[in-house]
Chains A and B, each alone.
Chain A
Amino acid sequence: MLDLRQVPDLLQGPGWQAHLPVLIVTIPLIFGVLTIATGKGWKPWAWATAVTGTVFYLALQLIQRVLASPTGMVSYELGNWPRQWGIEYRVDALNAFILLIVAGVGFVTTVYAKHSVEKEIPADRHNFFYAVWLLALCGLLGITVTGDTFNVYVLLEISSLTVYALIAMGKDRHRGALTASLRYLILGSVGASFILLGIGYLMMITGTLNMQDMHERLMSVPGILESRTVLVAFALLLVGLSMKMALFPLHMWLPRAYTYAPSAVSALLAATATKVGVYMAFRFMFTIFGVGFSFITMPTTLILASCATAGILVTGVTAIRQTNLKRLLAYSSVGQIGYIVLGFSLANVNGVAGSVAHILNHALMKGGMFMALGAIVYRLDRCDIRSVRGLGRKMPLTMAAFTVGGLGLVGFPLTAGFISKWYLVQGCLDRPHMWPLAGVVLLGSLLAVVYTWRVVEAAYFQEPDDDRPVKEAPLLMLIPMWVMIGASVFFGINATFTGKISVTAAKALLGVGP
């Protein structure tokens, strides 16, 4: 039904598509920098929308090219230097898919951002805001597209720095944004240093920075995998990446950051930032160290699965006790990261496929739900559980979007969440002695029922505190919100596309034939 071959090639130029991997990163870079010269008013927003729209189109072209390629991947050598010495962009089904998610969510969120940013960010710095916004996307896309470990770190610096700044821009609404940003800055820098140290140790022992080259060296040099340097590098990367993807109990930066960030920024971060962290974990564990080392030699399955299970249960309970809805969703995000991590820690096809599919599904649902909250903040200036009382009648479309998104978090059939949880449960059952984890997935869904129901009950079954008339959110917020939620329902009903691509990606990661 969703046939990517139907995306038209607008330029029709000979050979320009060979440059797709680099264009997808340099276009937001170059045009992001130019944003500071776009002046005032609606112009920076329109500019950013045009840029992200182009990037989304390029991501569609790229995934189409990757799927059509006989080797299943597209490689691009920057500066025409041979890949072992220079920097290589290497796109296979997995990162083409993540690129599509980041670019797509980036575009929809940028469209959504207009009203929200007008209200929450001082008018004289919209050009700087959108410049930093585009650079954040550039960083996230750059991490995803690259096949070079040090390039990952450099782009990680860009995405982190921009995200700290974007979170801190919530300062005019609540001073807490500044401490939240500082807290994230400190923890994020610790995580990034661990990743850098890990890459440095690997470089020292393998002599190369290219991921594929590194993997081949780790596999071929005798005794290298037993060396203590590689062991420590693996531990450092595991901790650093867990920090970046906010795996419980290293998630302490996330709830405050999502709560106090400007609404549009929360929606963007919730849908993309931690997902790219998970993608990095895929690359380091599966592509560089290889499944054999990461999941058989090392007790990674035990460590990650226990962190993930604890995360799902603890944050589920914590989310139930929240009154601020943004904070509620933030805790729920940590729990959902738990599902994603649980999936790939099983290191079997169904588990990893569930993980990959949940990256898309969670991005759509959580992005849409944060957009709904942003619309409530736009109209009411607050978003605690008290303020949504009776809102089901005043803002029917917004609350309906929130409810459908919540059903997705629960994993209700016909929503996207159901598909990924189906894979996850299968993955748990495929692995011997891991069946209790399937129970955890179901228990986590029950917790999601409780925290979603609290909001639904307040919105539809309680009387509002006052009779103040509240208008429905503006159309430019409703459309992106419903695009996200609609897509999550669409991928729940028609799972062929996600299913196919996530199984392809999982098989490629695990090294089992197609």
Chain B
Amino acid sequence: MTAVVLIDTLLLLLVTVTAVAIIEVRNLYASAMLTSVYSLLLALVWVNMHAMDVAFTEAAVGGGISTILLIGTLVHTAREEKPLKQRVHWRALLLTALCGVALIYGTFDMPRFGDPKAPIHHFRVPEMMAQTVGFANSTAGKQPPPAGFDPAEYRSFNGAVASVPVDPTDTGWRENSVLAQHGIMLPKVLGDEVHAAHPAEADHHQHPADDFNGHVPNSVTSLLAAYRGYDTMFETTVIFTAGMSLIMLLRRPRREGYLQRSAPLADQPVLRVVAKMSIPFILLFGLYVITHGELGPGGGFQGGVVVACAFILFALIFGRPALYRVLPPPVCDLLTGLGVLMYAGTGAACLLLGGNFLDYAQLNSLSPGDGEALGMTLVEYGVGLTVSMVMVTIFNQLAEEQAK
């Protein structure tokens, strides 16, 4: 039993205990706080699985913003759960237990965790992780594989792709890979003369400009923003829909006004000073997470949530009237839509430039790799904008009804 298994066992045990506690605790406020604990523990489990992006999302969304929103909801309901008449609903318990048994039964034939022979480790996914889907040989758009290239050979583990270079600046492994031998994913697309002309580019030659091909150091981002960018567009739309639905259902008629009372916390000097000092850094960190998503864990969703937290903190300390002066609700509504439009608009632009929808390479016909970089950055900012504005909207709508 390795240390990882021990830690995982301990964490999962804690997750289970927290889940039971969430159900058992009668105080809803405590229950909401426990969901935050639950998400943070789960984030640690993801970290243990090396799923950093998932862990980051779980921590930011589950541990952070959704707890704030749950507590916001509590303002409208009671703080204590009503006692149940029937302690245990036997039929429901039986059905749930059966369902759980079925799920576990399904895991018996599952590949073991991390098994290199598992289907997802040798079918389709390696190309995604190695970011070699589409074979862009310095030409616009994705090309078919060149003659003689045997995907089966590539899929077999000859160490060429799966190995990680010890020295990150050493690109020799690319030349030795099966792909490079067939002229795919050449590292030297930007010739030396280009590097000479733009010295700043020299540091980036792991990042072949004309062979970008959805290629970013963080393979999760290339999966989310490039290969399955279309799904991500609709995930953003889901967030947008949530915001619109809440406005439609909860927003009070405009004539009654937005503003109720000022924040009770505004006269706390310590809170005010700390908030004022930390908000710029939270915003900066949010923008960093959005922009840096291609290099490390993070991206539009996580960054958007962090940015939203800055606005929500501002509203909590200085009151919603102050937030509405900074970000009036109509502006917030429009920005929410603008995020989705940035994403879908990037897709439509690719279509109008003659490619398929969301074929980022079309954005820069001279250097398709730059086009892909531009497209992926644009959509990440679109996601970040929508997510942050929707979170602020949800918070506002939950807080708004409070004064009734």
A residues adjacent to B (C-beta < 8 A)? 19, 22, 26, 29-30, 33-34, 36-37, 76-82, 84-87, 122, 124-125, 128-129, 131-132, 135, 138, 142, 150-151, 154-155, 157-158, 161-162, 164-165, 168-169, 171, 197, 201, 203-208, 213, 217, 221, 227-233, 235-236
Is the beta-carbon distance between A77 and B356 smaller than 8 angstroms?
A: yes
Chain B residues with Cβ below 8 Å from A78 are: 229-230, 356-358
Chain B residues with Cβ below 8 Å from A221 are: 119
B4 part of interface (Cβ distance < 8 Å): no
Chain B residues with Cβ below 8 Å from A80 are: 134, 141-142, 355-356, 359, 361
Q: Assuming A37-B334, A128-B244, is B357 touching A22 (CB within 8 A)?
A: yes
Known: A34-B341, A157-B235. 4 other contacts (CB 8 A): A37-B334, A142-B234, A150-B228, A207-B119
B237 part of interface (Cβ distance < 8 Å): yes
Bound-state CA distance A165–B133 (Å) is: 39
Chain A residues with Cβ below 8 Å from B380 are: none
Bound-state CA distance A155–B226 (Å) is: 18
Is the beta-carbon distance between B360 and A233 smaller than 8 angstroms?
A: no
Is the beta-carbon distance between A79 and B119 smaller than 8 angstroms?
A: no
Q: Could you give, for residues 328-354 of chain B, a 1 whenever the CB lies within 8 Å of some chain A CB and a 0 otherwise?
A: 000001100100110011011011000
Q: Assuming A154-B234, A158-B237, A169-B248, is B106 touching A233 (CB within 8 A)?
A: yes
Is the beta-carbon distance between A165 and B360 smaller than 8 angstroms?
A: no
Chain A residues with Cβ below 8 Å from B214 are: 81
Considering the complex, give the chain B residue whose CB is closest to the CB of A19. Answer: B351
B108 part of interface (Cβ distance < 8 Å): yes
Is the beta-carbon distance between B248 and A129 smaller than 8 angstroms?
A: yes
Q: Could you give, for residues 88-124 of chain B, a 1 whenever the CB lies within 8 Å of some chain A CB and a 0 otherwise?
A: 0000000000000011011111110000001111111
Tell me which of B109, B238, B254 contacts A229 (CB under 8 A).
Answer: B109
Is the beta-carbon distance between A197 and B103 smaller than 8 angstroms?
A: yes
B362 CB, min distance to chain A CBs, angstroms: 9
A interface majority secondary structure: helix
Bound-state CA distance A207–B124 (Å) is: 6
B116 CB, min distance to chain A CBs, angstroms: 13
Chain B residues with Cβ below 8 Å from A165 are: 241, 244-245, 248-249
Is the beta-carbon distance between A231 and B106 smaller than 8 angstroms?
A: yes
B201 part of interface (Cβ distance < 8 Å): no
Chain A residues with Cβ below 8 Å from B233 are: 29
A458 CB, min distance to chain B CBs, angstroms: 35
Q: Assuming A78-B230, A81-B133, A208-B124, is B119 touching A235 (CB within 8 A)?
A: no
* B interface size (C-beta, 8 A): 64
Q: Assuming A161-B241, A207-B119, is B124 touching A228 (CB within 8 A)?
A: no
Is the beta-carbon distance between B229 and A128 smaller than 8 angstroms?
A: no
Is the beta-carbon distance between B241 and A85 smaller than 8 angstroms?
A: no
Considering the complex, give the chain A residue whose CB is closest to the CB of B255. Answer: A124
Bound-state CA distance A236–B98 (Å) is: 12
Tell me which of A26, A124, A169, A233 contacts B357 (CB under 8 A).
Answer: A26
B7 part of interface (Cβ distance < 8 Å): no
Considering the complex, give the chain B residue whose CB is closest to the CB of A125. Answer: B248
Q: Assuming A125-B247, A131-B244, is B341 touching A79 (CB within 8 A)?
A: no
Bound-state CA distance A248–B109 (Å) is: 31
B176 CB, min distance to chain A CBs, angstroms: 24
Q: Assuming A30-B341, A161-B241, A162-B245, is B360 touching A79 (CB within 8 A)?
A: yes
B207 part of interface (Cβ distance < 8 Å): no
Is the beta-carbon distance between A151 and B134 smaller than 8 angstroms?
A: no
Chain A residues with Cβ below 8 Å from B109 are: 205, 227-230
Taking CB atoms and an 8 Å cut-off, the chain B residues in 346-396 that contact chain A are 347-348, 350-351, 355-361
Is the beta-carbon distance between B358 and A79 smaller than 8 angstroms?
A: yes
Is the beta-carbon distance between A19 and B356 smaller than 8 angstroms?
A: yes
B253 part of interface (Cβ distance < 8 Å): yes
B128 part of interface (Cβ distance < 8 Å): yes
A177 CB, min distance to chain B CBs, angstroms: 10
Tell me which of A135, A150, A208 contacts B123 (CB under 8 A).
Answer: A208
Is the beta-carbon distance between A33 and B344 smaller than 8 angstroms?
A: yes
B89 CB, min distance to chain A CBs, angstroms: 14
Is the beta-carbon distance between B333 and A36 smaller than 8 angstroms?
A: yes
Chain A residues with Cβ below 8 Å from B357 are: 19, 22, 26, 78-79
Considering the complex, give the chain A residue whose CB is closest to the CB of B252. Answer: A124
Chain A residues with Cβ below 8 Å from B241 are: 132, 135, 158, 161-162, 165
Is the beta-carbon distance between B142 and A82 smaller than 8 angstroms?
A: yes
Chain A residues with Cβ below 8 Å from B356 are: 19, 22, 76-80
B301 part of interface (Cβ distance < 8 Å): no
Is the beta-carbon distance between B235 and A154 smaller than 8 angstroms?
A: yes
Bound-state CA distance A29–B230 (Å) is: 12
Considering the complex, give the chain A residue whose CB is closest to the CB of B125. Answer: A207
Chain B residues with Cβ below 8 Å from A206 are: 119, 123
Considering the complex, give the chain B residue whose CB is closest to the CB of A231. Answer: B106
Chain B residues with Cβ below 8 Å from A142 are: 234
Q: Assuming A162-B241, A165-B248, A203-B120, is B231 touching A150 (CB within 8 A)?
A: yes
19 contacts between A and B (CB under 8 A): A19-B357, A22-B351, A26-B347, A33-B340, A33-B344, A77-B356, A79-B226, A79-B229, A80-B142, A81-B227, A128-B248, A132-B248, A155-B234, A161-B245, A165-B244, A205-B110, A207-B121, A213-B124, A221-B119
B400 part of interface (Cβ distance < 8 Å): no
Chain B residues with Cβ below 8 Å from A164 are: 245
Is the beta-carbon distance between B334 and A232 smaller than 8 angstroms?
A: no
B188 part of interface (Cβ distance < 8 Å): no
Chain B residues with Cβ below 8 Å from A204 are: 110-111, 118-120
Q: Assuming A26-B357, A85-B134, A161-B241, is B231 touching A151 (CB within 8 A)?
A: yes
Is the beta-carbon distance between B337 and A34 smaller than 8 angstroms?
A: yes
Chain B residues with Cβ below 8 Å from A77 are: 356
Bound-state CA distance A81–B333 (Å) is: 33
Bound-state CA distance A80–B371 (Å) is: 14
Chain B residues with Cβ below 8 Å from A150 are: 228, 231
B192 CB, min distance to chain A CBs, angstroms: 30
B316 part of interface (Cβ distance < 8 Å): no
Chain B residues with Cβ below 8 Å from A154 are: 231, 234-235, 238
Is the beta-carbon distance between A85 and B248 smaller than 8 angstroms?
A: no
Bound-state CA distance A223–B379 (Å) is: 42
